[in-house]
Every structure is written in C-alpha cells, then in structure tokens.
C-alpha cells in the first residue's frame, strides 16, 4: 500500500492545485536533504509525517537511509556538539537538552559529549561573559552579577563554572556576597 502526500496550493485563479508524493519520492527527497546537511532519525520521521507518509513506509525509508549511512545519529550528535560548543558557546547542559529533544539515545549523547575539552570551558565562558559585560545595563554590582549569572546559566554551563567566571568581572560588595 502506497501513501501519498497531498500538497494544496492556490493557482492564479484561486482554485486548489493538488500534488502527491509517494514513499519513493519521499526517499529521494530525504536522500537529497541528508546529502546537504546532517539529519536525525526523528527529523526524517517528522518530515515524512508532515508529508502524509504511512508509519510503516516511514520506518522502512528511515531504515534504508540508516543502512546507506545518509542518517547516523552518532555522527549528527558529534557534529552538533562541536558546532554548538565552539561556534555558539553553549555549555554541556544546553547541548544535552537540545540533543534529547531530537530524540537521540542517551548513550549516543554521552559519547558525543566526551569530546568537549573541559579544560577550556572556563576560558570560553569568561570570554562570553566579558563580551556580555560590555552591553549589559545595571545599576548596582549586585544587578550586574545577577545578570551575568543568568546569562551564563542560560548558555548551559553549570553553576560553579559560571560563578567562577563571573567573580573576576564583578566588584565584590556586601550585597553581592549573598549570592
């Protein structure tokens, strides 16, 4: 049994035009997509659900893509960790959460996160916080410390790493010591 995708669009006259997509067409489209950029199993399944492909056909297509190495969740996770850590400055918690949302297995995520160079994490975070310091508006040192702590935590770094990176950037006051 073949599924079809129905795409509705409007012609110049306003009537609905219909175009169908078979599982074979979906496979070809996913091969093109995966050749251009890394995708996960869940990305492919989500796309096919949107195209109206039956679950059994979608699983068969994903199995073929995995067998042909168009889709590899471990390869995706490693590339994702590299990109988000080096280019976006994300911490381990934020990266882990994003990969979990992509429905990647915990073991795969753990293996990908092993490549993070933890010795340079503090330096990287300090640089990001110093850059943020130039743009943040604050009335007191307490406000500054609060905003920098929130920013560092929002990047996905653990509390101790953020606190250690914020300390040299903020002049200590009695009010700041309560933090």
| pLDDT exceeds 50 at position 61 | yes
Q: Which one, of 1, 7, 2, 102, lies nearest residue 51 by Cα?
A: 7
Phi, psi of 16 (to 5 degrees): -80, 130
| pLDDT exceeds 60 at position 23 | yes
Its CATH architecture, for the domain 73-116, is Orthogonal Bundle (1.10)
- Residue 70: CB atoms within 10 Å: 19
- pTM (global) more than 0.85: no
Torsion on CA atoms 37, 41, 44, 45, rounded to nearest 10 = -170
Residue ranges per domain, the chain? 7-67, 73-116, 119-177
Q: What is the DSSP string of 72-123?
A: -HHHHHHHHHHHHHHTS---HHHHHHHHHHTT--HHHHHHHHTTS-GGGHHH
Euclidean distance between CA atoms 10 and 18, whole angstroms: 9
Mean pLDDT of the chain: 87
């Amino acid at each position: 049994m073949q599924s079809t995708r129905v795409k509705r669009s409007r012609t110049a006259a306003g009537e609905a035009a219909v175009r169908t997509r078979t599982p074979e067409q979906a496979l070809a489209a996913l091969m093109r997509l995966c050749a251009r950029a890394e995708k996960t199993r869940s990305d492919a399944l989500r796309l096919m659900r949107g195209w109206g492909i039956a679950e059994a056909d979608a699983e068969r297509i994903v199995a073929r893509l995995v067998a042909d190495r168009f889709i590899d969740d471990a390869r995706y996770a490693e590339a994702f960790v590299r990109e988000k850590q080096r280019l976006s400055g994300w911490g381990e918690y934020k990266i882990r959460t994003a990969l979990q949302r992509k429905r990647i297995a915990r073991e795969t995520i753990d293996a990908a996160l092993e490549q993070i160079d933890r010795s340079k994490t503090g330096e990287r975070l300090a640089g990001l916080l110093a850059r943020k310091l130039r743009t943040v508006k604050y009335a007191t040192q307490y406000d500054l410390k609060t905003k920098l702590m929130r920013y560092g935590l929002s990047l996905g770094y653990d509390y101790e790493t953020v606190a250690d990176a914020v300390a040299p950037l903020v002049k200590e006051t009695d009010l700041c010591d309560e933090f």
